[in-house]
A and B are shown apart, each in its own frame.
Chain A
């Protein structure tokens, strides 16, 4: 199945794509995406982190990685038993007209397409259109109603796409629902995720998806800004939080 979306995602979208990629890969699904910046890269990354297999469909020759910053990711995809797929001859550079074609290919080799975040006119919507034309299932992840990055996904939902809250929703449509235990109301440990080591009470106030800035955290907990920043940096150093843009998120932990 394919996970596609914006090249300029919000931190929320990126986190959702990474989580979906990871959970689906853990359930044995091959995650297909386009190796682009943003949602695509996050989905591949998630799948790889969960030890899964992922396939990247390229809009260039298979020997050309675009954008170049994803070269390491591409190598890892191949190294972990995945594949780079392209309909274009070796050495084909990135061209505007090739990416919509690539999107069709992606839809064609997937049973189902999940759109995570897509602004109006986004390439991810082309993939969704292609999937419908090819008789594939299309699902979408809702976002904030204030976010322009979710306008496309919401349009798909309005038009009847399936709603994705977590990997279980996707697996149910694929007819493999019973394999997953993912319940958003259960603690992460029941999902095979290790509970984060609680070294600092701050961790409990951080989200895995929505970044919180040091200033917001300080305000919420009545701490001085300097103290909040120092404690967050300590958590970052030990690897239990990550910086996302201006804020911090709790790192997903897996066994």
Chain B
């Protein structure tokens, strides 16, 4: 007797429909699993055998062949346990599998259904391919239920699954729960707590409004980290689609819990010892998402930029440009979304005190140049806004600042973002040169920009960078066209020290 049920194989953020076929035939007692399963899939045999026995379903002492089709794709992960067990049980009972129904889950030896990574991604893919019902572990139910039009069942164990299929005990469908739209979120880091730092405040606002990448340069203790942490708080909350994309990445990593959807913008701050694979994605098999994909639609904060490994920073360039990272392996290619705002922070020199008015720099002169050169080049060229952050005078810390709160800044940011999306369907930072010409005409300012480019040796990328920032400054002003003041301001966000080194 042959039975087959559906499940899903993940390749990056794509799901491939997989059919688990089971043939129970007379002959030598055997349990063969074919269809390019890796070690974790082969181990399914032992878990499935124990789970079936301990669920009182029995394990057939016959020749058992399980095929995972399509056979040419390599399978990995423990989510195949449940569909394999269900298919065997159905084959033994000579029952037809339920139509348009899929199963994902790992099995414990006692038959309990356990968590599998990437259920949200699988659920969206399965729904898109016509699947109507999905069985997952109770731990993954909330995640799967986010998908519209999919009936999600989450019985606690294998016996429960089979009872539901046999019609003896109903496992109720889990209701999808979208979290209510966010109220005013409590902000851990509010701009109201930032004293002075007018340059950095303005740069943060431009960055939030236009999606521009940002470099903060200043001595230790100047508050670079605090400023970076304020950025998510002045960004608008995620849209539903964005929140789902963020949740998908976390789902792949198995990080989604009982309340899978969050409206908060991600904020990731990897340590500078992070490997290239850890930063951009990679690792075993086809590769897992890295920090840049966890920061999708949010903020990636790289403190001590010069301390990061060169290859890791080099690998950032393509995602910075395209908003996606593509990982190519001999076994295939996966791509993950990585549309983040980069906030990089750096000391002005190795000891950190160059240019500080209260402490002298102790670096040998050559070291300062080397340090600044290590920052220069193509990565720096992609940071639209570069500002110096200086240490606030101590007396400013004890008095109240009376500075503007994040909520007030966010209101302006949202208006400016709305203008951009309405005009060009993307943020200014993501405008291609052709889009810039169409949506951000320069008029009289063009001469000014060209003069600057000529006299100061601005690269073509630098030219467009200043242009985009100027468009954002105009949007924050509510101006239809870019004015000269906007361009001049945009050109002001360069740091002389880096310009010289570049």
Contact = CB atoms under 8 A, between A and B. Distances in A.
A230 B198 contact: no
A190 interface: no
Interface of A: 7-8, 37-38, 67, 69, 119, 146-149, 213-215, 218-219, 225-227, 229-234, 237, 243-246
A244 B491 contact: no
Contacts of A229: 199, 202, 488-489, 492-493
Contact of A245 (B198, B491, B496): B496
Given A7-B365, A8-B361, A237 B199 contact: no
B366 interface: yes
B350 to A, nearest CB: 13
A72 B389 CA distance: 32
B360 A147 contact: yes
Interface string B357-394: 11111010110110000000000000000001010000
A146 B357 contact: yes
Contact of A231 (B201, B452, B488, B495): B488
A237 B452 CA distance: 7
Contacts of B448: 237
B217 to A, nearest CB: 8
Interface in B440-455: 448, 451-452, 455
B492 A119 contact: no
A67 B496 CA distance: 20
Contact of A233 (B201, B492, B497): B492
Contacts of B488: 229-231, 233-234, 237
A218 B365 contact: no
B365 A225 contact: no
Contacts of B484: 230, 234
B102 to A, nearest CB: 55
B199 A215 contact: yes
B495 A246 contact: yes
Q: Binding site of B, secondary structure by majority: helix, strand, loop or mixed?
A: helix
Nearest to A228: B198
B77 to A, nearest CB: 52
A237 B473 CA distance: 19
A213 B199 contact: yes
Contacts of A8: 354, 360-361, 363, 365, 368
Contacts of B366: 67
Contact of A226 (B196, B202, B451): B202
Contact of B198 (A219, A231, A243, A244): A219
A149 B360 CA distance: 7
A86 to B, nearest CB: 20
A213 B492 contact: no
A7 B369 CA distance: 13
Nearest to A235: B488
Nearest to B359: A148
B388 A213 contact: yes
A229 B390 CA distance: 16
The 4 closest A-B pairs by CB, nearest first: A246-B388, A230-B488, A148-B360, A229-B492
Interface in B331-372: 354-355, 357-361, 363, 365-366, 368-369
Contacts of A234: 484, 488
B479 interface: no
B199 A230 contact: no
Given A147-B360, A219-B198, A237-B452, A230 B497 contact: no
A246 B365 contact: no
Interface string B468-500: 000001000000000011101101110111000
Most chain B CB neighbours (cut-off 10 Å) among A37, A218, A245? A245
A232 B492 contact: yes
Nearest to B206: A226
Given A37-B365, A229-B489, A244 B201 contact: no
B50 interface: no
B388 A230 contact: no
Contacts of B275: none
A227 B355 contact: no
Contacts of B202: 225-226, 229
B87 to A, nearest CB: 65
A229 B488 CA distance: 8
Contact of B492 (A148, A149, A230): A230
A8 B354 CA distance: 9
Name, among A37, A69, A243, the residue most crowded by chain B CB atoms within 10 Å (CB to CB). Answer: A243
A215 B196 contact: yes
B489 A226 contact: yes
B197 interface: yes
Interface string B90-119: 000000000000000000000000000000
A148 B353 CA distance: 12
Contacts of B360: 8, 119, 147-149
A230 B486 contact: yes
Nearest to A244: B496
A229 B201 CA distance: 13
A120 to B, nearest CB: 10
A149 B448 CA distance: 39
A183 B90 CA distance: 103
A233 B456 CA distance: 13
Contacts of A230: 484-486, 488-489, 492
